[in-house]
A = this chain, B = another copy of it.
Amino acid sequence: MGYVTTEETKRRGRRPAGADTKTALVEAARAVFTEQGYEGATVRAIARRAGVDPAMVNHWFGGKDGLFAKAVLQLPIDPAQIVADVTAGDVDSVGDRVVRRFLTVWDSTGGGQFAALIRSVAGHEMAVTGLRELFVNGVFGPITRYAGGDGDPMLRATLVASQLIGLGMVRYVAGFDPLATADINTVAAAVGPTMQRYLTGTIT
């Protein structure tokens, strides 16, 4: 048996391609992640529930992490694109790029989506596991390896995560001024060197 049997396809009706397929996958993903948790959910199970080819998950969302980001966390970003943007360019200015990319992503949502993300982290173990996979392994890990600092790359990755999460908390959730309303150049000048040191500098 394949992922979608002929019986299933008949019963559910044939899915049109494109937007409807994406919507069906997002809805199926929400249900399966909720029922099975992040680790238990499989691309195969989600695709089966949506009545589509599992290959479409990779095609549309770049795999399980991307589907989780879109369906459950409703992030305004494509994690793979972030990594591509930040790792294109001089390693000596990666810290500055990390801060600017973080701000352009979340400033654009007015901060509401960051606050929603934090609520989901504070309330649900599933979200925590998914975020660890998505951000630590999927975003900060690759950026740290690109930067090439010595020692444990995951310590560097979680340090980067700590400063960015805290920046988001102050700017989008708590609204502590002046950092909450400072312009991007001000924040990049203040926080960029922190990122640079966590990625390439001496941390021990």
Residues of A bordering B, CB below 8 Å: 115, 118-119, 121-123, 128, 131-132, 136, 152, 154-155, 158-159, 161-167, 169-171, 173-180, 182, 186, 189-191, 193-194, 197-198, 203-204
Q: How far is A128 from B170 in the complex, measured between Cα atoms in Å?
A: 10
CB distance from A128 to the nearest CB of B (A): 5
Number of copies: 2
Q: Are B162 and A179 in contact (CB under 8 A)?
A: yes
| Majority SS at the chain A contact face | helix
Contact partner of A163 (CB less than 8 A), chosen from B162, B171, B182, is B162
Q: Are B190 and A198 in contact (CB under 8 A)?
A: yes
Given A167-B162, A204-B189, also A118-B128 (CB < 8 A): no
B-chain residues with CB within 8 Å of residue A132 when the two chains form the complex = 174-176
Q: Are B162 and A170 in contact (CB under 8 A)?
A: yes
Q: Are B191 and A159 in contact (CB under 8 A)?
A: yes
Q: Are B197 and A178 in contact (CB under 8 A)?
A: no
Given A118-B122, A197-B194, also A155-B169 (CB < 8 A): no
Q: How far is A173 from B189 in the complex, measured between Cα atoms in Å?
A: 28
Q: Are A178 and B162 in contact (CB under 8 A)?
A: no
Given A155-B182, A158-B180, A177-B158, also A194-B163 (CB < 8 A): yes
CB distance from A161 to the nearest CB of B (A): 6
Q: Are A123 and B131 in contact (CB under 8 A)?
A: no
Contact partner of A170 (CB less than 8 A), chosen from B123, B165, B189, B204, is B165
B-chain residues with CB within 8 Å of residue A189 when the two chains form the complex = 203-204
Contact partner of A190 (CB less than 8 A), chosen from B155, B164, B179, is B155
Question: Taking CB as reference atom, which chain B residue is nearest A159?
Answer: B190
Question: Taking CB as reference atom, which chain B residue is nearest A182?
Answer: B155
Question: Taking CB as reference atom, which chain B residue is nearest A152?
Answer: B178
Q: Are A161 and B176 in contact (CB under 8 A)?
A: yes
B-chain residues with CB within 8 Å of residue A155 when the two chains form the complex = 178-179, 182, 186, 190
Q: How far is A122 from B116 in the complex, measured between Cα atoms in Å?
A: 8
